[in-house]
Amino acid sequence: MDKLTSLQSNHSAKVNMELVLADCVVPIAQMGGSFIILKSPKDYPPGNAEIVLQVDDAEDRFQVFLPDGLNSLSLKVNINHKERGNYEIQ
């Protein structure tokens, strides 16, 4: 494979991550196994939420619990993953 062909076949995925709360959507900058990093801080009490992960044209949603809620003094948010199935944001 020549250098030009190699450059043309590279793909940069379009990635979007959001934290969906009962009354708003908060953009996510990074995700780890048990935490997320928000793009901007916000206050929000502990409770259920949903993370939306979009990569190119594919989308996945998963339920999480925010044991410490969100704090406007920190971008890092601890999360506990919930099993897929019955779920309601409260």
pLDDT exceeds cutoff 80 at 88: no
- How many domains is the chain partitioned into structurally? 1
Q: Is residue 47 part of a domain?
A: yes
Q: Which residues of 37-56 are buried (b: 16+ CB within 10 A; e: fewer)?
A: ebeeebebeeebbbbeeeee
Q: Is residue 7 part of a domain?
A: no
Q: Is residue 87 part of a domain?
A: no
Which tens digits make up the pLDDT trace of 32-42? Answer: 989 999 999 99
Which tens digits make up the pLDDT trace of 23-67? Answer: 999 999 999 989 999 999 999 999 999 999 999 999 999 999 999
Nearest one of 17, 75, 72 to 49, comparing CA atoms: 17
Q: Domain of 49?
A: 16-81
Q: Which amino acid is at 63?
A: Q
